[in-house]
A and B are shown apart, each in its own frame.
Chain A
Amino acid sequence: MSTDVSRPARRGTPPPAMRQDRRVPRVFYLMVLPAVALFAVFHTLPLLTGMFFSLTNYAGYGEWSFVGLQNYVNLFGDDRIYNAYGFTFLFAIVSTIAVNIIALAVAIALNGRIRFKTGFRGIFFIPNILSILIVGYVFNYVFSNSVPAIAEALGITSLTTSILASPDTAWIGVVILSVWQAAAFNIIIYLAGLQTIPTELYEAAALDGATPWKQFTSITFPMIGAFFTINMVLSLKNFLQVFDQIISLTAGGPGTSTESISVLIYRGGFQGGEYGYQTANAVIYLFVIIAISFIQLRILQRREASF
């Protein structure tokens, strides 16, 4: 910032007419006020209360006392939490990559000149409006009963036992459900992005003899850079908070093999009577997610095409 140049211009008092223009009418503040109040009461206040209880030994009921930062110290020695972090990040990274590849491919197909385009777009959006819990229980049934039955009939021995029943493969089931459900929203964002690309670019490229792949890597992908960024950031953030999918499919099992951090916080905090301790876990996780989203935005925005 070149402060020396810009300052003198600001120093003098602006003419009265200009000051009059700058003043924001009070009605705008009044319009914002209800939202701010609701946000503060239902979001900021609970967040601060939660942060407060992370400094106590509160069990969720009864008496409690201050324990300082002891909960935070104990968190770092808890291997169950490290395991939950390991699972959550593996799941989130795999799902983010898979969902973006699939969503982009489907979006490009739905943006082409195909029949029943609007109908297909509607169909592909359906998973987004279904409740994850309900879909999860349906997938649970499919994985536990239908897939093994089909595999048995076809003689595929490796799939005759439910993938949810083995600690090594259960996470794949969670990924499949999550990607299926999350792709719908990402498709819509990519479709919106694809529609911003001027068709002249493709016409010019076609005249120059560019192959479809060349067109994709040189025109389509760079032009939807901003949409790619937002999809990557939002899906990673959502997958890091994975909860419903796991509760309905595996409940964190078999064993603790698919215990995500949110599931661990819920289990320990609400069912295990360690509200204070798991709230500390949640506070740390909040900062982890903020940091990751921030870093991700910085890196991805740098490579977006500017036009």
Chain B
Amino acid sequence: MKLPPGRAPRAVRYLVGGTALALVLSACATQDDVVTLNFFQFKPEAVANFNGIIDRFEAENPDIRVVQNHVPDADTAIRTLLVKDKTPDVLTLNGNGRYGELAEACVFADLSDLTVVEQVRPAVGDIIGELGSCSTGEVNAVPFSSNASGILYNRGLFAQYGVEVPTTWDELLAAAQTFEDAGVTPFYTTLKDGWTVSPAFVNLGGALQPEDFFDRLRAEGSDVAAGEVSFSKDYPEAMEKLTTLYSFGQDGAASRDYNAGNAAFGAGESAMYMQGSYAIPAIRASNPDANIGSFPYPATNSPEDTVVVSGVDVAVSVGRDTEHPEEARRFVEFLMSPEVVQQYAQEQSAFSPLTTGAETTDPALAGLAPYFDDNRIIGFIDHQLPASLPLPQYLQELALGGSVEGFLSVMDREWSKIAARTIPNEKD
């Protein structure tokens, strides 16, 4: 067989190149003065951003090499790594309830001695601390970027119909009514994906629930019905308001999913959209010229009580038993430097969790940013619920026309059952 001209030399070149690369790599690994850090990165859309950061870090720190690992389903992957006792040296995770479970299982190192911990906004630090830690006083993760949940709106449609940004609940209803009367969909809702109802739940529930609701609920154990706090007693207002907002959704919402919602809102099919900062990159991907604004949920008629729900989108942790604690900490400190945090926040439409040196300049986030500066932020309350409680499913049922009482009683019932069957291990 005769190879086409040029083909064989190229193949040989690849072979030679590959072998040379392999030799160089193995040489690196065996060199004693270069430490290789295993960096687990959970966000598929941020791989390029982190590659850039790692390049700069390696240029400044020639004695450390960082290998970024990223997988499609990070929550499952990190669990399998833990089961195999292969905790990464440095890792990023979403600051959700599952992170809290892992932190309580003492998987992550204590980072409270890092100087960056003091530069983190106190409210953001509290949010991640509330998720759980190995023991009180430990800091098991530092927040790298924050997101915020609110109501996104189409600036063009608001200007066209002369609607001001609402600051109270009544103004929000009036605005929705104005759009509906004018034949514009007030809210684009996407009920095919049950979880897309959760942002409204965490905002209204988080703002309207009594102080320390979940701590008191946990203290009640399985006897929720007889207890002082319960969903049935404390959540009717929030859930009535949620169903009111969803009644302003478009026709056929039940067969629309999150991606369809991002595209439709980007195309100007609705005036408002009940999603957070995390949806902005996807909306801009569908329409780069989308003129997006944002405001927090005015859950009550007193604007001074309005808060923004914020979660830690990317939290950075160090494996508790890493072989290179010093190098891992140096990498974390580099990640947390204001320039790196600021640049990442800009690229990903996120908020900086630091107090110094990082302004939020994205116009789509301008309506939410002041609340960060005033520490008027609360965490995602659904992170306080056990993972085995199917909240998105129940919310979907409610938004599709279920009754508020039915939702509240099933929440109480599930909570009690899970509390009754969860048998904790003895902590040592």
Which of the 9-residue segments B229-237, B333-341, B384-392 touches chain A?
Answer: B384-392
User: A60 contacts which chain B residues (CB < 8 A)?
Assistant: 79
Interface residues on B, range: 35 or more
> What residue of chain A has the Cβ atom nearest to residue B78's Cβ?
A61
Per-position 1/0 for B414-425, Cβ under 8 A of A: 100110111111
User: B418 contacts which chain A residues (CB < 8 A)?
Assistant: 274
> A161 to B400, Cβ gap below 8 A?
no
> B417 to A165, Cβ gap below 8 A?
no
Taking a contact as CB atoms closer than 8 A, the residue among B192, B255, B386 that contacts A273 in the complex is B386
Taking a contact as CB atoms closer than 8 A, the residue among B76, B101, B254 that contacts A165 in the complex is B254
Rounded to whole Å, the gap between the CB of B150 and the closest CB of chain A is: 26
Q: How far is the CA of A167 from the CA of B398 in the complex (A)?
A: 11
User: Which residues of A (55-91) have their CB < 8 Å from a CB of B?
Assistant: 57, 59-65, 67, 70-71, 74, 77-80
9 A-B pairs within 8 Å (CB atoms) are namely A63-B105, A65-B425, A80-B414, A161-B255, A164-B255, A165-B254, A253-B393, A255-B394, A268-B388
Q: Is A118 on the interface with B (CB-CB < 8 A)?
A: no
* Interface positions of B (Cβ within 8 A of A): 76, 79, 82-83, 101-102, 105, 191-192, 194, 252, 254-255, 386-390, 393-394, 396-397, 400, 402, 413-414, 417-418, 420-426
Rounded to whole Å, the gap between the CB of A299 and the closest CB of chain B is: 36
User: A254 contacts which chain B residues (CB < 8 A)?
Assistant: 191, 194, 254, 393, 396-397, 400
Rounded to whole Å, the gap between the CB of B189 and the closest CB of chain A is: 12
User: A67 contacts which chain B residues (CB < 8 A)?
Assistant: 423
Per-position 1/0 for A265-307, Cβ under 8 A of B: 0011011111001000000000000000000000000000000
User: B101 contacts which chain A residues (CB < 8 A)?
Assistant: 59, 273
Q: Is A148 on the interface with B (CB-CB < 8 A)?
A: yes
> A161 to B417, Cβ gap below 8 A?
no
Rounded to whole Å, the gap between the CB of B255 and the closest CB of chain A is: 4
User: If the complex has contacts A253-B396, A255-B396, are A78 and B79 also in contact, measured as CB distance less than 8 A?
Assistant: no
User: B414 contacts which chain A residues (CB < 8 A)?
Assistant: 80
Q: Is A225 on the interface with B (CB-CB < 8 A)?
A: no
User: If the complex has contacts A144-B255, A165-B254, A165-B400, are A272 and B387 also in contact, measured as CB distance less than 8 A?
Assistant: yes
> A70 to B423, Cβ gap below 8 A?
yes
> A256 to B390, Cβ gap below 8 A?
yes
> A61 to B194, Cβ gap below 8 A?
no
Rounded to whole Å, the gap between the CB of A304 and the closest CB of chain B is: 44
User: B83 contacts which chain A residues (CB < 8 A)?
Assistant: 61
* Interface positions of A (Cβ within 8 A of B): 57, 59-65, 67, 70-71, 74, 77-80, 144-145, 148, 161-162, 164-167, 252-257, 259, 267-268, 270-274, 277
Rounded to whole Å, the gap between the CB of B258 and the closest CB of chain A is: 13
User: If the complex has contacts A144-B192, A254-B396, are A62 and B105 also in contact, measured as CB distance less than 8 A?
Assistant: yes
Q: How far is the CA of A63 from the CA of B79 in the complex (A)?
A: 13
Q: How far is the CA of A64 from the CA of B425 in the complex (A)?
A: 6
Rounded to whole Å, the gap between the CB of A152 and the closest CB of chain B is: 10
> What residue of chain B has the Cβ atom nearest to residue A78's Cβ?
B417
Which 4 A-B pairs have CB atoms at the shortest separation, nearest pair first?
Answer: A272-B388, A255-B397, A165-B254, A162-B255
> B396 to A63, Cβ gap below 8 A?
no
Q: How far is the CA of A161 from the CA of B401 in the complex (A)?
A: 14
User: B423 contacts which chain A residues (CB < 8 A)?
Assistant: 57, 65, 67, 70
Q: How far is the CA of A166 from the CA of B414 in the complex (A)?
A: 23
> A161 to B252, Cβ gap below 8 A?
yes
> B400 to A255, Cβ gap below 8 A?
yes
Q: How far is the CA of A64 from the CA of B420 in the complex (A)?
A: 17
> What residue of chain A has the Cβ atom nearest to residue B424's Cβ?
A57
> B413 to A79, Cβ gap below 8 A?
yes
> What residue of chain B has the Cβ atom nearest to residue A272's Cβ?
B388
> A272 to B386, Cβ gap below 8 A?
yes
Q: How far is the CA of A271 from the CA of B154 in the complex (A)?
A: 36
Q: How far is the CA of A267 from the CA of B421 in the complex (A)?
A: 16
Q: How far is the CA of A255 from the CA of B386 in the complex (A)?
A: 17
Rounded to whole Å, the gap between the CB of B135 and the closest CB of chain A is: 15
Rounded to whole Å, the gap between the CB of B72 and the closest CB of chain A is: 15
